[in-house]
Each structure stands twice: as C-alpha cells, then as structure tokens.
Amino acid sequence: MGSVAVEVTNIVKSYAQTPVLRNVDLTIESGKFVSLLGPSGCGKTTMLRLIAGLEQPDTGDISVLGRRVNDVPVHQRNIGMVFQNHALFPHMSVFDNVAFGLKYRNLSKPEIIARVKRALEIVRLPHLEGRLPRQLSGGQQQRVAVARAIVIQPDLLLFDEPLSALDANLREEMRIELKRIQHSLGITTIFVTHDQSEAMSMSDIVILMREGVIDQYGRPDQLYNDPETDFAARFFGQVNEIDGIVAAISGDGAKIDTPLGTVSGVRGDFAIGDKVTLLLRSERSRVAGQPDLDASQLPCRVLERDYLGMLVRYTVLANDQQINVVQALEGELLSVGADAYLKIPTSAWLCYR
Amino acid sequence: MMSNHIGKWALGIWTTLIFGFMLVPVFIIVILAFNESALGLFPFTGVTTHWFVVVLTDKDLMRSLMNSFRISLVASVFATILGSASAYALARYRFYGRAVTEMTLTLPLLIPHLVMGVSLLLLFKALGVDKSMTTLTLGHIVMILPFVVLTVRHRFESIPLALEEAAWTLGANRVQGIRQVVLPLAIPSILTGLLFSFMYSFDEVTATIFWRPVNVETVQTQIMAMLQYEVDQRVNALAALLILFSIGIPVLGLVLARLVIRNHKV
C-alpha cells in the first residue's frame, strides 16, 4: 500500500449543458501507472485535463500529494504532460524544447545542460539536441515530448493518448519504452487511451470509464477475468452472445441451459426459468479440425475465416449458433465449409443480469 | 478540345487587358517623370533627372512627406499593438460581446473613406475636440486596425492551443507562454500586418482631407492640391518616387517574411 498521489472527489463537469463527468471519485497511488480507458466521449481526457489544471471542475475537489489544487494555476502544479500531437515548440531546437521547463525552476546553466542530456539519454535520443522538431520522425518527436515532461521531475506524468498518431509498429515499441521509463523513474503516471490492449499491456491499474462515470477499475487481469459489468466484459477482447434458460440453482451457482451446452456455477440472482444472455469469449474458445478425446466438444461448420497473421478468426455454426472464435494458428488453416469441432472451456463464459 | 483552347486564350487576353488598364497609367507616369518639359505631358523634350532633384529639395513637399511618414508610422505601430492584442483575445478567449467586438473591429474595411471622414469629423466636432495631428492619427488607426486584426488573428488561430498548454504545464504563465511560444511564431504575420497597415495609411487621401488640421498636408493631400491647378511635372517625379516606395516596401517585407517563416513553420 503506497501513499496517495492523486485524490479526486465528487467531480462534476459539463460543457454547455452537456454533462461530461458525473460525480467521479478516484484515487491514484504513488508510483503507479494508471490508465484512464474508455470509448470517445467517456470523459477520460476531461478528467486528465482537470487534474492538469487545464480545465476547472464545476464542483468537486482535486488533491495532488495531499494538497488541494483546485485553485492552483496550471503552471504551478508541477506536472509533466505529453500531448497527442507531441506539441513540441517548432521554432526551438530539441535541446531548447527539453530545457524549456527548467528555465522557470531556478537552475544554473550547467545543471540545466546536465539534466537535459540525462533526459535525452533516458528516452534514448542522445545525439539530436541541435535538431528542430520538424527534422525528426514521429516516434522521435514523441520521445522528445516525453523527455521535456520528465526533465522537470514532476509530481505527476500525464499522457493524453500520446500513441494514437503513431503507426502500429511504432506504437508497440513506444509502449515498451514508456513503461520502461516510468518504471525506472517511478513517477506516478496517468495515461489516457481508448485502446484496451494499450491500457492492458502498460498499466498497473486500469480505470474503465463510460459516459462520465467509472465503470470498473482494477488490475488489467482483474478487469479481463472478472468484469463486473456487461460493458466491461464487452470492452476487453471479443464476445459472442448466447441466450440461455436457468435450469437449476444450487449452492455453487446456477445451471444454465444453452444451445451450446449447460453452463454451471454461474453466480447471480436467478430464479429457475429465467431467460439470460451469456457472453462467450472469442479468445477462450477453440476450433479444431480433428476431434479429440474431450467429450464436451461440439461439431460445427466453418462459415468464415479471417487470417490475421499471428491469429485466425473463425466464424463457425454450432447447433444453429453463430460463434466467433479467435485463436493462435495451430496446424493447418481450416477452410470455409469444413467440418470442425468447437471446444468451450468454462472460463470462456461470462454472465450478467 | 477546341473550346478549351479558345477559352484559355480569351481568359489570357482579358486578364492582360485588365492588368494593362490598371498598370499602364503607372508606367506612363514613371516614364514621364524623366521628361525635361515642365508641362508633365507627352511629348518628350529630353530625358533628365532634374525634376527628382526639384522635388527632393522642395521644402513644402518634403514637409508633407515627413507628415505622411510620421502619421502612418505612429498609426501602424499603435494599430499593430492594439490589433494583435485584440486578435489574441478573439482567437483564444470566449467572452460576452465577442461577436460584436469582432464585427466592430472589421467594419472599417466596409465603410467608404468618405463616410468615415465625415462621420469622424462630426464626432470630433460634437465632442468639442479640435482637429490636430493626434485626431488625424487616431482616425488612421481606426481605419487600419482591421488589417492587423484579420492578418494576425488568422495566424494565432493556426497556432495550436496545445503549444501554449504545453508551455503552461512546464511552468510558464500565460504571459511567458505568449512571449516564448506564440509571439516568435506569429512575428511574420504581425510584421505583415504592420506593413499592410502602414501602406494603407500612407496611401489614404479621402478621409485625410476631412481630418487634417488647416496647415497640415500629407503627401497624398499635397499631390491632390497640386493637381487641381496644373499638370505639374513635379507631381510626376513625386509620384514616381512614391510608386517606387509602394512597390519596394512590401516586396522587402515579403522577402523578410520568407526568411523568418522558413525557421518558424508550425
């Protein structure tokens, strides 16, 4: 249990009558990498900007390191922020960009030079000091932006979808870089993104937001394995919808009959005969060309096939149910129209009322 | 296709005619300025630069030229400072009366100079203020403000707010952010605004006739007065000098702007 870096209480924020954040509370621990994740319009960027001081809440309190900062102007909050389009000053060299924040912090010239050099080393761009931003590649620009933010040794590091403008390969590379940098510096980091795989791979804690409220938060594996809401279940990975009827209830949970078999151990508030919709994870199901000794597999037929390189997505028809399955390629690619076998482990099922 | 070719030719000829109509008088005046004859007309009796010397040594003409420079310089500097500040406010802030302010600042462009001349004159009279160099300069400032506001505001709006926000997060307050980030990037536009407004004020004659105090002439009003009585060769020489000035300064400004912009591309 670390100390609390950011405490946000009862925040309400509207733009011209449209509510963007409704009574949001959140706490962020020191040194953690926390993602604010959600679809467009969920309020994640607004929340970040409120913490930064670029916007003011209508009601509510924001505290950083125990100090209430509602009335503290942006330039006094000691935060480092990385913007979506790097926002490097185009008329200044890389060195001057990174040194910018240090000018306002009473440091001697040699100290500034040393700190800038160190920051550029941390982002692995040691020899580009004299260049102008427009002479750098997209990835380099973003890294300079990170250097500029960390060189001031801020209390908080805020990222506003910094990787959205980069191409896929670069994004992967930067994810690892950013995680490494944050880990070695230990600065509390808040990372806004709409990309769930980005949030999952980088974060200690993921805060899932939806329409101005927090839907769920926790470790990435918690959110993925134990989503508490329908929204959370559908947000991570892909799901299929299966209708079922509650057949029996016992101490272990309900037994639900579905066209794909009986699912037992489902916890929830059910009565026998209830109609429920179960969610079936695409990534947990398996399609195989050959049957094996597992009795619970279902015969099916391949309707569609999407080859994704490392993965393959099959759409199969089993017992009149159309199911999407995403899996690593094992053996041969099954062709459309082929007979196959569908295996659904218990971990693939999710259920919500 | 045949019609395309004919169309292009016709457009070319038409464009040349229009430009010719506008520019030939200018060329003729410059050429005539070298005529020896005192009459300031064709035919050429000889080629000389004598009249340029006459103009440059004429006390009254030089005084009116200095007046023009003084008025236009002061007016354009003030207009640039006020106009740039207004442009920043319009580009960055939301405030009550913003649309009205915007309209008011650009309206002078639409008002005929004659109307401006008379109406401001009436206003000064109503306020009991006498005509002076100051009121004349104030009138010029009002007329040239729109140039600055339009030019500079466009530039401010193309500078992303994120740049200023980045500066704030790094520890700069609003003013420091403007000084370190916005101004360096906006300088070409501000200088352009200064140049445009200076030239516009320098060339202005209609309203100036209404606003000028009795003994004050600007070079434009002086030329108008001289032209009322005769076609004076001095006018040709003076005009030729002014043409050189009118072309040369903006060209210089463009060249400077190009140099500055190259380093400051957003």
Q: What ipTM was reported for this prediction?
A: 0.85
Residue B91 located in a structural domain: yes
In a domain, B28, yes or no: no
Whether residue B160 lies within 8 A of chain A, CB to CB, comes out as yes
Full residue range of the structural domain in which residue B205 is found: 55-263
pLDDT at A53: 94
CB A137 within 8 A of CB A116: no
Minimal CA–CA distance to A86: which of B177, B163, B167?
B163
pLDDT at B231: 72
Whole-number Å distance between alpha carbons of B181 and B156: 11
Question: Using CA atoms in the order B254, B260, B264, B266, what is the torsion angle rounded to 10 degrees?
Answer: 0
Q: Per-residue DSSP letters for B143-196?
A: HHHHHHHHHHHHHHHHS-HHHHHHHHHTT--HHHHIIIIIHHHHHHHHHHHHHH
Give the model confidence (pLDDT) of A167-179 as tens digits.
888 888 889 999 9
pLDDT number for residue B14: 93
Separation between Cα atoms, residue B186 and residue B155, nearest integer Å: 6
Amino acid making up residue A257: D
State the pLDDT confidence band at B35, using cuts at 50, 70 and 90: confident
B135-154 average pLDDT score: 93
B104 touches chain A (CB under 8 A): no
A342: left (phi over 0), alpha (psi -120 to 50) or beta: beta
Q: What is the pLDDT of residue B228?
A: 83
Most B-contacting residue of A100, A106, A116 (CB-CB within 10 A), to test interface: A100
Q: Would you state the pLDDT for residue B248?
A: 86
pLDDT(A353) > 60: no
B41 inside domain:
no
Q: Note whether B176 contacts A134, CB cutoff 8 Å.
A: no
Q: Does the residue B138 lie in any domain?
A: yes
Among A73, A79, A87, the residue with its CB nearest the CB of B163 is A87
- Torsion angle, alpha carbons of A99, A103, A106, A111, to 10: 20
Q: What is the mean pLDDT of chain B?
A: 88
Residue B19 lies in a domain: no
Give pLDDT tens digits for A214-224: 999 999 999 98
CB contact under 8 A, B171 and A79: no
| pLDDT band with cut points at 50, 70 and 90 for residue A213 | very high
Query: Residue A348 has which token pair?
Result: 């693939």
Which chain A residue is nearest to residue B160, measuring alpha carbons? A87
For the cut 90, the answer to whether the pLDDT of residue A345 exceeds it is no
For residues A353 and A269, the answer to whether their CB atoms sit within 8 Å is yes
Give me A7's structure tokens: 């405490």
The per-residue pLDDT for A267 is 75
**Cis preceding-peptide flag for A73 (omega within 30 of 0):** no
DSSP A305: E
Residue B261 has pLDDT above 70, yes or no: no
Residue B49 lies in a domain: no
- What total of structural domains would you count in chain B? 1
pLDDT at A279: 87
Q: Where are the alpha helices (DSSP H) in A28-167?
A: 44-52, 94-99, 109-122, 138-150
Which two structure tokens, joined as six digits, stand for B44?
A: 């050429």
pLDDT per residue over A189-201, tens digit each? 999 999 998 999 9
Q: Does B187 touch chain A (CB under 8 A)?
A: no
In a domain, B25, yes or no: no
- The number of C-beta contacts closer than 8 angstroms across A and B is 70
Of chain A, the percentage scoring pLDDT greater than 90 comes to 49
Quick check: A151 pLDDT over 80?
A: yes
Q: Average pLDDT for residues A249-271, to the nearest whole number? A: 81
Of all residues in chain A, the one with the smallest CA distance to B181 is A89
Q: How many residues comprise chain B?
A: 266
CB contact under 8 A, B171 and A75: yes
User: Which residues are CB-neighbours of B216 under 8 A, at least 6 positions away?
Assistant: B67, B133, B136
d(CA B36, CA B57): 17
When mean pLDDT is compared across A39-53, B89-103, B194-208, B228-242, the lowest value belongs to B228-242
- CA geometry: angle A167, A173, A178, nearest 5 deg: 115
pLDDT band at B27 (very low <50, low <70, confident <90, very high): confident
What the block records as the tokens of B180 is 């370190």
Predicted confidence at residue A227, as pLDDT, reads 86
Instruction: Give me the half-sphere count of Cα atoms (radius 13 Å) on the Cβ side of residue B224.
Output: 12
Q: Give the three-class secondary structure for A90.
A: coil
Mean pLDDT across chain A: 89
What values do phi and psi take at B164, rounded to 5? -70, -40
Nearest to A74 among B162, B168, B180 (CB): B168
* Residues in B touching A158 (Cβ below 8 Å): 169
pTM: 0.83
Contact B265 A134 (CB under 8 A): yes
Q: Which CATH number characterizes residue B111's domain?
A: 1.10.3720.10
Could you tell me which residues come within 8 angstroms of residue B263 by beta carbon, excluding any fewer than 6 positions away?
Answer: A91
In this prediction, residue A186 carries a pLDDT of 92
Residues 68-127 of A with CB under 8 A from B: 73-81, 83-85, 87-91, 100-101, 103-105
Q: What torsion, rounded to 10 degrees, do the Cα atoms A118, A76, A108, A82 define?
A: 20
The pLDDT value given to residue A80: 94
Contact A265, A252 (CB under 8 A): yes
Residue A161's pLDDT is 93
Cα dihedral across residues A137, A142, A145, A150: positive or negative: negative
Nearest residue to A159 via CA among A199, A187, A190, A204: A190
Q: Which two tokens stand for residue B162?
A: 């994120």
Tell me, what's the pLDDT at A333?
84
Confidence of residue B262 (pLDDT cuts 50, 70, 90): low
Question: Which residues, 6+ apart, have CB-to-CB distance to B31 below 8 Å?
Answer: none
Tell me the C-alpha distance between B4 and B12, whole Å.
12
Spell out which residues of chain A touch residue B265, defining contact as CB-CB under 8 Å: 90, 134
Helices and strands counted in chain B (H then E)? 12, 0
Flag whether B191 is in a domain. Answer: yes
How close B163 comes to chain A (CA, Å)? 5
Bridge partners for B130 per DSSP: none
Residue B266 confidence (pLDDT) above 60: no
Measured CA to CA, the distance from residue A79 to residue A65 in angstroms comes to 12
Residue from the list A79, A85, A103 with its beta carbon closest to the beta carbon of B169? A79
The rounded Cα A288 to chain-centroid distance in angstroms is 31
Tokens of B49: 């630069």
Q: Which of B33-42, B63-72, B100-109, B240-249 has the lowest mean pLDDT?
A: B33-42
DSSP state of A72: S
The pLDDT of residue A1 is 45
Of A10-14, A288-292, A300-304, B165-169, minimum mean pLDDT range = A288-292
Backbone angles phi, psi at A305, to 5 degrees: -145, 125
B182 secondary structure, DSSP code:
I
Say yes or no: B165 contacts chain A, CB-CB below 8 A: yes
